[in-house]
């Protein structure tokens, strides 16, 4: 009961803190999606049907991964550096309530960008996406894993290192991760790395539920994401509870 | 005693010994000041009490209960105003104070009553519904204080609460700090503003390089200085050798000034000595006044130029 009360109050607090940034964040995510769906056809004037579906479903996936693995860790790193995270950790609330409340608000930030990304892709390519009924839990799982892993990065690393690593992640996610293309396009060693990392699984689950008629939905991807999600949450929770 | 800290030592992984065998006790109804330079170990101490840092050794007890073993309980028993600004941009002071009160377990009605009283007492009414992102640093600190005071714990810890606050509202703030103690809380006040601390605290400890180098009431500490008066000499910028005090008490350089301890019965000779220095061109001007807690602090911790070893010698000589 106390946990729920704390959770509710902390969601209010964190949502109010981020309300000024929400429109900006949504605009950036929409621009991401727009950039991808408008930019790729310029690079590759003749796109086959599979490529079009890959781009249209890859855009919202990239948007989720970018917020979770880049924007979130940079924000949390900044909060660590300025001392505001320490203040929140000094409040008389369970660490679990704080962490789950913050993740809830981050999810709320991610999801509208995904919807906009899907709409932009469908509009640009004139697609009639027959989304799977699993799309909502799937998107929530992808977004939750991205935010948990992002949170763990910021919790473990010093701020400056977080900034450097997340900048590098932007390039890695955009150019070298199988979100807007299939993994067989990658060199063997990178393909092997992506079989372990969560990004490929995020792409597979997003496109498998947004365009189930075009792509399969490998169960292994859910397992990979579940492992990363639990790992990210566990590491973050441990770091949050740890006394230096 | 409500808060009992015994032999508290904190050594960071970098090897820095931020707290070195600190022992303190604070009672209910007491405002206790913790004074020291930046880096003296004040914030490290406070962060251990509230459970953000784990002590390397030593104990922290509130009401006899072990806070090192139960940091969750420590957070419930302590209200805390951190030195950093509170993360409330996007919230109004009304929302921020109410959220904190409810998080500490008060009902909406109780929070509202407490908040109204605090906002009136701190004269914050005109900002109550303004986004904190648009508030000045001083007003934000007052809001942070109100957040710590709306549902105070047994121990209230305030880290530099008056930073950036205007002089009029500082008075209002000190009145509320006293009110917290009067209602039964123990208040631990961290500051490097010695002048304000002298007027506001019941007892204090001075920290230097992680150790308590003096503890007592302001009057007791001033008594240890052995000088009821303080002669402040503004030195000539070209002066090479510092004037040697004829009174055998502390003489501590602070910037271009020399603070000289003077016994009460030597006021006349002190003025005569200072005038002779002025005639000789060694000093530009002087003032003679009652010794303050700042003099004790300066004698102990020194001005920015004084080496700690020298200062301790000065204090040992004066305390003997």
Residue-wise pLDDT tens digits, B220-248? 888 777 778 889 999 988 887 888 888 87
A93 touching chain B per CB within 8 A: yes
Instruction: Show the tokens assigned to B246.
Output: 């004829």
- C-alpha torsion sign, points B189, B193, B197, B199: negative
- B90 neighbourhood in chain A, CB within 8 Å: 16-20
Question: In this structure, how many other beta carbons lie within 10 angstroms of the beta carbon of residue B14?
Answer: 6
Contacts of A88 in chain B (CB under 8 A): 87
Question: Using CA of residue B45, residue B51, residue B55, residue B60, what is the dihedral sign?
Answer: positive
A contacts of B84 (beta carbons < 8 Å) = 82-84, 86-87
Cβ of B90 within 8 Å of Cβ of A17? The answer is yes
- According to DSSP, the β-strands at B186-191 and B3-11 are unpaired
* Both structure tokens of B315: 């204090």
Task: Please give the residue of chain A at the shortest CA–CA distance from B106.
Answer: A5
> B-chain residues within 8 Å CB-CB of A87?
80, 82, 84, 86-87
Is CATH 3.30.70 what the domain over B222-319 is classified as, yes or no? yes
CB contact under 8 A, A86 and B54: no
pLDDT digits (tens, 9 = 90+) for A161-201: 999 999 999 999 988 999 999 999 999 999 999 999 999 99
Chain A nearest-CA distance from B122, in A, is: 22
* A–B CB contacts, 8 A cutoff, strictly below: 73
The Cα B83–Cα B191 span in angstroms is 10
Asked if A78 reaches chain B (Cβ–Cβ under 8 Å), the answer is no
Residues facing residue B60 across a β-bridge: B5
* CA closest to B151 among chain A residues: A92
At CB < 8 A and 24+ separation, what contacts does B309-314 make? B311/B252, B312/B213, B314/B250, B314/B251, B314/B252
**Interchain contact, A16 vs B85, CB within 8 Å:** no
Q: A80 vs A84, A89, A206, CA distance in Å?
A: 6, 11, 32
pLDDT digits (tens, 9 = 90+) for B166-215: 989 999 999 999 999 999 999 999 988 888 888 889 999 999 999 999 99
Residues contacting residue A76 through CB under 8 Å, at least 6 positions apart: A85, A150, A151, A154, A155, A162
Q: How far apart are the first and last CA of chain B?
A: 30
Which two tokens mark B50? 């509230």
Q: What integer pLDDT is reported at residue A212 of this predicted model? A: 93
pLDDT for B134: 95
CB of B72 within 8 Å of a chain A CB? The answer is: yes
Domain range summary for chain A, segments of one domain joined by +: 2-241
Give me B12's structure tokens: 């960071």
Q: How confident is the model at residue B319 (pLDDT cuts 50, 70, 90)?
A: very low
Beta bridge partners of B212: B207
Choosing among B99, B106, B107, B144, which should be mutated to test the A contact, i.e. which has the most A CBs within 10 A? Answer: B99
* Chain B CB within 8 Å of residue A97 CB: no
Q: How far apart are CA B190 and CA B208, in angstroms?
A: 13
CB-based contact, A90 to chain B, within 8 Å: yes
Pairing of strands B65-66, B57-62: antiparallel
| Residues across chain B | 320
Q: Is A9 on the interface with B (CB under 8 A)?
A: yes
What angle in degrees, to the nearest 10, is found between the helix axes of A95-125 and A49-66? Answer: 150
ipTM field = 0.88
CATH 3.40.50.300 matches B3-216: yes
Residue B259 has a CB neighbour count (10 Å cut-off) of 22
* Sheet of B65-66, strands arranged across: B17-26, B3-11, B57-62, B65-66
CA B305 to chain centre: 21
Q: Can you tell me whether residue B36 is helix, strand or coil? A: coil
pLDDT in tens, chain A (244 residues): 789 999 999 999 999 999 888 888 888 888 888 888 888 888 888 889 999 999 999 999 998 999 999 999 999 999 999 889 999 999 999 999 999 999 999 998 888 888 888 888 888 888 888 899 999 999 999 999 999 999 999 999 999 999 999 999 999 998 899 999 999 999 999 999 999 999 999 999 999 999 999 999 999 999 999 999 999 999 999 999 988 8
Rounded-to-integer distance, Cα A80 and Cα A74, Å: 10
Q: Which runs of consecutive H residues, i.e. helices, occur in chain B?
A: 42-49, 71-77, 93-103, 108-121, 137-149, 167-182, 194-200, 218-225, 267-279, 293-301, 308-319
CB distance B239 to B250 below 8 Å? no
B137 close contact with A: CB closer than 8 A:
no
Domain ranges of chain B: 3-216, 222-319
């Amino acid at each position: 009961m106390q946990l729920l009360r704390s959770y509710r109050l902390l969601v209010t607090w964190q949502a109010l803190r981020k309300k000024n940034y929400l429109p900006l964040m949504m605009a950036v995510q929409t621009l991401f999606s727009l950039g991808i769906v408008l930019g790729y056809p310029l690079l590759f004037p003749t796109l086959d049907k599979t490529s079009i579906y890959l781009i249209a479903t890859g855009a919202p996936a990239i948007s989720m991964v970018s917020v979770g693995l880049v924007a979130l860790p940079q924000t949390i790193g900044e909060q660590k550096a300025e001392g505001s995270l320490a203040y929140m950790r000094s409040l008389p609330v369970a660490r679990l309530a704080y962490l789950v409340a913050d993740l809830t608000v981050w999810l709320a930030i991610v999801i509208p960008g995904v919807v906009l990304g899907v709409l932009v892709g469908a509009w640009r390519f004139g697609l009639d996406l027959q989304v799977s009924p699993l799309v909502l839990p799937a998107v929530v799982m992808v977004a939750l894993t991205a935010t948990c892993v992002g949170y763990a990065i910021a919790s473990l690393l010093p701020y400056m290192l977080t900034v450097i690593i997340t900048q590098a992640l932007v390039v890695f996610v955009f150019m070298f991760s199988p979100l807007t293309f299939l993994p067989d396009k990658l060199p063997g060693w990178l393909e092997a790395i992506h079989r372990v990392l969560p990004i490929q699984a995020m792409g597979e689950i997003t496109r498998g539920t947004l365009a189930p008629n075009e792509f399969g939905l490998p169960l292994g991807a859910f397992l990979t994401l579940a492992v990363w999600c639990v790992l990210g949450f566990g590491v973050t929770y441990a770091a949050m509870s740890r006394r230096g | 005693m409500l808060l009992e800290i015994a032999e508290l030592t904190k050594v960071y992984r970098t090897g820095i010994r931020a707290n070195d065998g600190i022992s303190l006790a604070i009672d209910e109804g007491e405002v206790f000041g913790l004074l020291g330079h930046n880096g003296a170990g004040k914030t490290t101490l406070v962060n251990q009490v509230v459970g953000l840092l784990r002590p390397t050794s030593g104990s922290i007890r509130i009401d006899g209960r072990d806070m090192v073993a139960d940091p969750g309980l420590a957070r419930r028993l302590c209200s805390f105003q951190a030195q950093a600004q509170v993360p409330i941009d996007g919230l109004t002071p009304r929302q921020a104070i109410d959220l904190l009160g409810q998080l500490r377990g008060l009902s909406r009605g109780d929070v509202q009553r407490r908040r109204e009283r605090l906002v009136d007492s701190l004269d914050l009414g005109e900002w109550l519904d303004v986004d904190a992102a648009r508030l000045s640093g001083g007003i934000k600190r007052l809001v942070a204080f109100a957040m710590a005071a709306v549902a105070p714990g047994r121990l209230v810890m305030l880290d530099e609460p008056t930073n950036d606050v205007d002089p009029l509202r500082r008075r209002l703030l000190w009145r509320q700090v006293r009110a917290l103690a009067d209602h039964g809380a123990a208040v631990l006040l961290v500051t490097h503003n010695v002048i304000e601390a002298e007027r506001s605290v019941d007892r204090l400890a001075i920290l230097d390089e992680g150790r308590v180098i003096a503890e007592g009431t302001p009057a007791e500490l001033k008594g240890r200085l052995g000088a009821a008066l303080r002669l402040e000499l503004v030195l000539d910028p070209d002066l090479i050798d510092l004037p040697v005090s004829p009174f055998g008490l502390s003489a501590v350089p602070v910037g271009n000034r020399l603070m000289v301890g003077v016994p009460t019965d030597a006021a006349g000779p002190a003025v005569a000595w200072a005038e002779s220095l002025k005639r000789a061109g060694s000093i530009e001007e002087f003032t003679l006044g009652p010794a303050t807690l700042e003099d004790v602090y300066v004698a102990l911790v020194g001005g920015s130029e004084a080496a700690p070893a020298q200062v301790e010698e000065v204090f040992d000589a004066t305390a003997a």
